[in-house]
Structure 1
């Protein structure tokens, strides 16, 4: 159960409060350290899945922990970034991304309950979206870095692209699940009467 892929996923969860603490340290190096912590966490997201498949070490615990770790990491980082820069320009993609994660998680849970989980399995589009989210969050974390004034705007643009892909992938998931959703609605009403 505690194989290397699962330990990497657990490390990602442990790095979430580390990221938050480092982000709020008032020191010139803090933005770089926070971006590095987030970058390490993002790399474990790729590495744990790769190793689990490569070494045939997939497990129910890993299947549960991996998406939880991903969603926690992204949601916490986005909330922290929004608190540091509370403008509508940042609030819109943050709202879309977190809202989509809640919606798709609920959809997957419901589809699993009716035995149709494969209908809303993770797609390549979701992986591209996740990659863009991770890069954008790392860039936004750098804030006013010595790398130049282009870093934050680039992170914001990438976050908007990720938000658009997020909406697109949510529509794809909802479309795939629609036959079950539309049929289950009348069944649910009949069960309640």
Structure 2
């Protein structure tokens, strides 16, 4: 008899990331003075669980199909929700543009990976080192931007915005690499 997927500690950490999503929204919109730092801490903790669940799954050889599905979903949901909160609170096209680029890229790449997996070619669109660097920029940007109210501590908002633009540029670059890898299959020239 197969074990339930939630018995797996790596999957439990991934599921915690999903539970953090409504908690992030509640904390961010609360009226507590510390809401911005608490939101940043929650998002940072989610980032730590992302690294930790993969490490645990590999180290203890407890990878699962459920975990392979849930992990990227949890990541994308957390990032999209955090960016949506920040788009609303910053209310500026200068901020909205890179956030939309990041969200749209995630949708495109998720669809591409799913389609390639159906064809048995998912390995050709596996995560690249550019994608990992992009994720680092993205997490840094979101943590910094969540930590401070939009109209305060301008230096931190500027650092966060610069990191967000860096993530958006790397997002476009990594998307181009994924599409290039999948292009022969996309145009049927294989």
- Which runs of 5 or more structure 1 residues have no equivalent in the other structure? 185-193
Deviations 1:10-67 (A, max 9, x none): 0000001101100011121111111111111111111111111111111001000000
Task: Output the TM-score relative to the length of structure 1.
Answer: 0.92
Aligned-pair distance for 1:149?
Answer: 3.2
Which residue of the partner structure matches residue 169 of structure 1? 174
Instruction: Give distance in 1, aligned partners of 2:56 and 2:129.
Output: 18
Which residue of the partner structure matches residue 30 of structure 1? 35
Aligned-pair distance for 1:148?
Answer: 4.0
Correspondence 1:55 to 2:33: no
Task: Output the TM-score relative to the length of structure 2.
Answer: 0.93
- Which runs of 5 or more structure 2 residues have no equivalent in the other structure? none
Instruction: Give distance in 2, aligned partners of 1:31 and 1:154.
Output: 16
SS at match of 2:97: helix
Which residue of the partner structure matches residue 120 of structure 1? 125
Q: Do the aligned partners of 1:140 and 1:156 also contact (CA within 8 Å) in 2? A: yes
Which residue of the partner structure matches residue 14 of structure 1? 19
Q: Do the aligned partners of 1:20 and 1:80 also contact (CA within 8 Å) in 2? A: yes
Which residue of the partner structure matches residue 154 of structure 2? 149
Instruction: Give distance in 2, aligned partners of 1:88 and 1:143.
Output: 19
Aligned-residue Cα RMSD (Å) equals 1.6
Q: Do the aligned partners of 1:104 and 1:173 also contact (CA within 8 Å) in 2? A: yes
Which residue of the partner structure matches residue 95 of structure 1? 100
Q: Do the aligned partners of 1:142 and 1:152 also contact (CA within 8 Å) in 2? A: no
Aligned-pair distance for 1:143?
Answer: 2.2
SS at match of 1:183: coil
Which residue of the partner structure matches residue 190 of structure 1? none
Instruction: Give distance in 1, aligned partners of 2:21 and 2:96.
Output: 21
SS at match of 2:25: helix
Q: Structure 1 runs of 4+ off > 2 angstroms?
A: none
Which residue of the partner structure matches residue 78 of structure 1? 83
